[in-house]
Every structure is written in C-alpha cells, then in structure tokens.
Chain A
Amino acid sequence: QSALTQPASVSGSPGQSITISCTGTSSDVGAYDYVSWYQQHPGEAPKVMIYDVNIRPSGVSGRFSGSKSGNTASLTISGLQAEDEGDYYCSSHTSTKAWAFGGGTKLTVL
C-alpha cells in the first residue's frame, strides 16, 4: 500500500480539463510544500511536471498546474491532448526525512 493515495484512473476528452488528487497526512503532504508530480509513458523513465507544489520546470507545458490544500495536493491538466495520456505519480517529502510516492494514476484521453 502506497503512502500517498491517488485515484487509480481518470479520463477526459481532448480539450477538457482533469484533476488528479494526491492525499497524504500532516506528516508529509500537509507538512511541507514539497509535493512533486511525475509523468510516465510506457517503457520510459518518469519526467517531472510540477515540483514544490506549483512550480513548473522550463519546457513543461503551461497546461499543467499544481496546488495544495491541507493534506491533499492536486495536479490539473487543462486543454487535454492525446500526448498527455500516461501514468502520473505524486511524491512528497516526509517528516521522517524520507520520500513517499502515490500509487499512480492512469490518465486516458478518450
């Protein structure tokens, strides 16, 4: 069982917006602004899309945004495109000086 809870799957049509949640506790997500989001396509290594809750690395589309409220972080993808399909993982630093990952969410673009 993963330390952070994500929905197993989400789906949306091209052009729509979707949000993926990541729920932790007051010892990880709620304790630090150190939540990151990673996109993984089949057979490839994960790629950072958002770090420190809402910072988007250069080269990542502005359609990706992050937020946090209490013990739950969220990744929103607007203007959904076919290439957004894949697995998404959240990650958070924890109070025990470790890192936790969510179980992953499979995004399907209909």
Chain B
Amino acid sequence: EVQLVESGGGLVQPGGSLKLSCVASEFVFSDFPIHWVRQAPGRGLEWVGRIRRIGDTNATGYGESVKGRFTISRDDSKNTAYLQMNSLKTEDTAVYYCLRQLLGSAGFDPWGQGTLVTVSS
C-alpha cells in the first residue's frame, strides 16, 4: 500500500525549533514532489510548502506565513522528506500532513496521518 507516515511532532516553546519527518513506502519516492500542509485545531487546510525532485529547478517553495522560517528537504536514499521549523510561533500550532503530488497533476494522494505540533509556553 502506498503510504506516508509523519513523525516528530510535540510540544515546543515559542521561538523554538522542531523537525518533522515523513517516511514513504511502496512507491518510487524520488520520482514524486512532496508537500506539507497543516491544519490548525478546528480550522481549514493551509499549504506550507513543497519540494520537487532532486535536480529540478526551484526545488522548494513555501507559503507566505512560513517563508524564511521553515525549510523542506528530502533524502531519497531513506525515502524520507523533512520539515525543519524554526522561530516557531503559537499560530504554528497545527496538525502537519505530508502529501505526495501526483505526477503530471496538481492532486495530492495519499496524505499521511498527520503529526501534531503544539507551540506553547
């Protein structure tokens, strides 16, 4: 089964850092762009950013609210994508999902189960 599994969420103080991981299975990970999307408690979905295949131009892109603070990377040898989050704010509190972008499409499938990040003192 094609699957994505996130980990690394938890409680962090404002101004702190956290690194999320997204491990893929049952597909050729290196062929696919990977995105991160978040959902604050009781709220809608917000695009965080994406990383294209290694070697593609403009490999990474970010939403305005996280630009300059968050960094997406990938290690294709480990079938893993990462989301490094720095200078965290209380408004970054959310469930973070990683997603696979379908080839030749802008659709996302599958989504991981999500990992909760809570930014609070």
Chain A residue numbers with a CB within 8 Å of B114 are: 45
Q: Quick one: which of B46, B58, B112 contacts A97, CB cutoff 8 A?
A: B58
Given contacts A45-B97, A45-B114, A98-B63, contact A2 B109 (CB under 8 A): no
B111:A47 contact, CB within 8 angstroms = yes
A104:B44 contact, CB within 8 angstroms = yes
Kindly state whether residue B107 has any CB partner on chain A within 8 Å.
yes
Residue of A35, A38, A97 ringed by the most chain B CB atoms within 10 A: A38
A99:B111 contact, CB within 8 angstroms = no
Kindly state whether residue A30 has any CB partner on chain B within 8 Å.
no
Residue of B35, B37, B50, B63 ringed by the most chain A CB atoms within 10 A: B37
Kindly state whether residue B105 has any CB partner on chain A within 8 Å.
yes
Chain B residue numbers with a CB within 8 Å of A102 are: 44
Distance in Å: Cβ of A69 to nearest Cβ of chain B: 18
B105:A52 contact, CB within 8 angstroms = yes
Determine the distance from Cα of A2 to Cα of B50 in the docked complex, in whole angstroms.
19
Report the interface size for chain B: residues with CB under 8 A from the other chain.
Answer: 21
B107:A52 contact, CB within 8 angstroms = yes
Interface string of A87-107 (1 = CB under 8 A from B): 001011100011111111000
A57:B106 contact, CB within 8 angstroms = no
Q: A48-B109, A98-B61, A101-B44 are in contact. List 6 more A-B contacts (CB 8 A).
A: A32-B106, A38-B45, A46-B45, A57-B109, A91-B108, A101-B45
A-B contact pairs, 21 of them (CB 8 A): A2-B44, A32-B106, A34-B105, A34-B106, A36-B108, A45-B112, A45-B113, A47-B109, A48-B108, A51-B102, A51-B105, A51-B106, A52-B105, A52-B106, A55-B107, A57-B109, A91-B108, A93-B106, A98-B61, A99-B47, A99-B106
